[in-house]
Structure 1
Amino acid sequence: MIKEFFWMCSGADTDLLQESPKSEQIKYAGIGGTVFFTAIMALVSSAYALYTVFDNVYMALLFGLIWGLLIFNLDRFIVSTIKKRDSFWQELLQASPRIVLALIIAVVISKPLELKIFEKEIDRVLLEQKNEMTLLNQDQIAEQFTPEIARVEGEINLIQQNIAAKEKEVNDLYDTYITEAEGTKGTMKLGKGPVYKEKREKHDAQLKELQQLKDSGAVKISGKEILLGDLREKQKLQIANSQPIIDGFDGLMARINALEKLPALPSMFILLLFIAIETAPVFAKVMAPKGAYDLKFDEQEDALKVWVTQQKNQRAEVLSTDTTLNEKVYYDVAKDEEIYEYKKQKAKDLLKLQSDTFYKKQRDVLG
């Protein structure tokens, strides 16, 4: 049962293999086994690749099964269409398009398995890329909000500087009228004279302005701090909303790009292994000597070609004979007076009928 299944996988004629020596049966069972297990590897690799895309096991298995069957059918077609010739170079030339196709299939199959084999190393590369993207994303978002935040902070600092300057002015006036009262500066007279009173009134007026400036400044600073808080909150929200996109940066293309950043030698070995597996049936059939199965197959094809050629020639002879007979029959009929008189009478009847019909229509039109 298994042997016959592998024969079917190789694309060979099972009836001919039943009549062939055991060595031929083993050879084609091996070729069919290679085709079958290559399709299994294609199923696994494509299912994993599609799982990274859809993140759904059942969908990945469904498409993986379809892809595996497609690869199985292609490999089976490739092997079955290679026919043994009397010249090795003719066989190699005949198989060259199949070999190119086998190379392409090997590359397609091997890549998803490389992604799975080097999954941990790829995850490390992706983590580094995500960290770089996170920092770059934060810098780019900060560039959007920094000018506005800096402007608001500058306005707050300007208000605080004005208040501080006013406080210094009031403190200076305070020191002035105190030292005037003590007689250490100004008029150098001890006591609260007219100069003291003047300076005290000026201090009190500035102190009142300072208080008004503080009150109005506090209101302005409070509003600007609310605006500053809103800007910083929007910046954090934008960073938070964009972070899931960065965290989800682990799709198929991202993993392939990350794989390219790893050393190429291990990936090359895996690729060469799949190339060897995929091209093995082709080269096995090309390099193997012409066996009993191939001779039986050639004999069967030659017999079919002879039969088709005979049928084609026979149809050509039948057509040629029939044409000759028809020409002779119609030549003899053309000389028959009875046929001539009969056809002449029918032509007269037809002309009369046409004339009567035309006359009737015209009469109806004219009323």
Structure 2
Amino acid sequence: MLKQFFWMCSGADTDLLETCSKSEQIKQAGIGGTVFFTAVMAFIASSYALYTVFDSVYLAIFFGLIWGLLIFNLDRFIVSTIKKSGSFKSEFIQAVPRILLAIIIAIVIAKPLELKIFEKEIDRVLLEEKNELTLANQEQIGLQYQPEIQLLENQISVLKKEVSEKEAAVNELYDTYIAEAEGREGTLKIGKGPVYKEKREKHDASLKELQTLRENNTAKIGEIEGQIATLKSNYDKKVTETQPVIDGFDGLMARVNALDKLPWLPSFFIFLLFFAIETAPIFAKLMAPKGAYDIKLSDAEDAAKTWAQQKAYQRKKQLATDAVINDKVYEDLSEEDELYTYKRKSAREIMQLQADAFYKQQKNIL
């Protein structure tokens, strides 16, 4: 049962193999087993790759099975179309396109398994890239809000500066009228005279202006701080909304790019492994001597080809002979009086009918 299955995998003619030696049967079963297990590896690799895309086990298994069957069919076709002719050079030239196709298949199969084998290293690279993207995203979003926030903060600074300057002016007026009362400046007379009252009134008026300015600017600063808080809230909201996009940056393409940033030698060895697996049936068939199965298969194909050529030749001769016979038959018929008389009678009847019909038509017109 298993032997028959591997024969089917190798694309061999099972009826011919039944008549061959055990060694020939084992050789074809080995080639078929290589084709089968290559397809299994393709199924596993593609299922993992598709799982990273769809994030669904069932979809990954379904499409992975389709891909595995496709690879199985391709490998089976490649192996079955290499014919043993006894000349290694001609066989190798025949196998070159199939080897190139095997290289492409090996790359396709190996890449998803590399992603799984180096998953931890890839996750580290992706984490670094996500952190860089997060910082870049915050900076880009900040460019939308920071200029306006900076402008509002400058307005707050201006308002606070106005209050500070006014406070300094009030304090200066306070020091002036105190110094006048103590006789250290101004009239240099101790006591609260007219000049003292004048300076005191000026200070009191300036103090009221300071209080009014402080109240107005405090209200304005509160309003501006509310605007700043709103802008910062919008910034935080925008960052929160866009962060899931960065967190989800671990798809198939991102992982392949991250794999390319890792040292190439381990990946190259894995590729060589799958290249060896994929091309093993081809090289096994190239290196194997021409066996009884190949001889019988070549004989059966030559017999079919010869039989097809014979039938084509017979059909060609039959057509030529039939044409000659038909020409002779029609030539003989053209000389028979009976056929001439019959056709003359038929022509007479047709002309009579035409004459009668013309007469009736003319009569109807008149």
Range moving further from structure 2, 317-326 or 70-79: 317-326
Alignment of 1:86-97 (within 5 A): 86-97=86-97
**Which digits, 9 at most, give the CA deviation of each residue in 1:125-164, with x for residues without a partner?**
1111111111111111112211111000000110000011
What is the total number of aligned residue pairs between the two structures? Answer: 366
In 2, Cα distance between equivalents of 1:201 and 1:279: 105
Taking structure 1 as reference, are residues 126 and 353 closer, same or farther at Cα in structure 2, changes over 3 Å only?
farther
- Aligned residue number for residue 136 of structure 2: 136
What one-letter code is carried by the residue in structure 2 that aligns with 1:210? L
- Aligned residue number for residue 227 of structure 1: 227
What one-letter code is carried by the residue in structure 2 that aligns with 1:237? K
C-alpha deviation, 1:323, in angstroms: 0.8
Taking structure 1 as reference, are residues 267 and 358 closer, same or farther at Cα in structure 2, changes over 3 Å only?
farther
- Aligned residue number for residue 43 of structure 2: 43
In 2, Cα distance between equivalents of 1:355 and 1:108: 84
Alignment of 1:273-288 (within 5 A): 273-288=273-288
In 2, Cα distance between equivalents of 1:188 and 1:362: 155
Taking structure 1 as reference, are residues 354 and 211 closer, same or farther at Cα in structure 2, changes over 3 Å only?
farther
- Aligned residue number for residue 8 of structure 2: 8
C-alpha deviation, 1:336, in angstroms: 2.7
Taking structure 1 as reference, are residues 344 and 217 closer, same or farther at Cα in structure 2, changes over 3 Å only?
farther
- Aligned residue number for residue 243 of structure 2: 243
In 1, Cα distance between equivalents of 2:349 and 2:35: 77
**Which digits, 9 at most, give the CA deviation of each residue in 1:168-209, with x for residues without a partner?**
111111111121122221111112111111111111111111
C-alpha deviation, 1:86, in angstroms: 2.5
The SS at the match of 1:172 is helix
Taking structure 1 as reference, are residues 61 and 176 closer, same or farther at Cα in structure 2, changes over 3 Å only?
same
Corresponding position: 1:261 with 2:257: no
In 1, Cα distance between equivalents of 2:53 and 2:226: 44
Alignment of 1:320-335 (within 5 A): 320-335=320-335
TM-score (norm 1): 0.95
- Aligned residue number for residue 71 of structure 1: 71
Corresponding position: 1:80 with 2:80: yes
Corresponding position: 1:270 with 2:270: yes
Counting aligned pairs with the same residue, the percent is 63
In 1, Cα distance between equivalents of 2:363 and 2:58: 82
Corresponding position: 1:309 with 2:315: no
What one-letter code is carried by the residue in structure 1 that aligns with 2:34? T
Taking structure 1 as reference, are residues 131 and 359 closer, same or farther at Cα in structure 2, changes over 3 Å only?
farther
Range moving further from structure 2, 109-118 or 170-179: 170-179
What one-letter code is carried by the residue in structure 1 that aligns with 2:317? E
What one-letter code is carried by the residue in structure 2 that aligns with 1:187? T
Taking structure 1 as reference, are residues 124 and 192 closer, same or farther at Cα in structure 2, changes over 3 Å only?
same
What one-letter code is carried by the residue in structure 2 that aligns with 1:219? A
What one-letter code is carried by the residue in structure 2 that aligns with 1:212? T
- Aligned residue number for residue 174 of structure 1: 174
C-alpha deviation, 1:29, in angstroms: 0.7
What one-letter code is carried by the residue in structure 2 that aligns with 1:14? T
In 1, Cα distance between equivalents of 2:210 and 2:344: 134
**What's the RMSD between the two structures over aligned residues?**
1.8
What one-letter code is carried by the residue in structure 2 that aligns with 1:126? L
In 2, Cα distance between equivalents of 1:354 and 1:59: 79
C-alpha deviation, 1:63, in angstroms: 0.5
Structure 1 gaps, min length 5: none
C-alpha deviation, 1:302, in angstroms: 1.6
Taking structure 1 as reference, are residues 351 and 107 closer, same or farther at Cα in structure 2, changes over 3 Å only?
farther
Taking structure 1 as reference, are residues 354 and 191 closer, same or farther at Cα in structure 2, changes over 3 Å only?
farther
What one-letter code is carried by the residue in structure 1 that aligns with 2:280? A
Range moving further from structure 2, 184-193 or 17-26: 184-193
- Aligned residue number for residue 194 of structure 2: 194
In 2, Cα distance between equivalents of 1:344 and 1:211: 138
C-alpha deviation, 1:92, in angstroms: 0.6
- Aligned residue number for residue 163 of structure 1: 163
Structure 2 gaps, min length 5: none
Taking structure 1 as reference, are residues 333 and 43 closer, same or farther at Cα in structure 2, changes over 3 Å only?
same
What one-letter code is carried by the residue in structure 1 that aligns with 2:65? L
TM-score (norm 2): 0.95
**Which digits, 9 at most, give the CA deviation of each residue in 1:335-355, with x for residues without a partner?**
233333433444455456567
**Which digits, 9 at most, give the CA deviation of each residue in 1:23-66, with x for residues without a partner?**
11111111000000000000000000000001001100000000
C-alpha deviation, 1:322, in angstroms: 1.1
In 2, Cα distance between equivalents of 1:68 and 1:362: 83
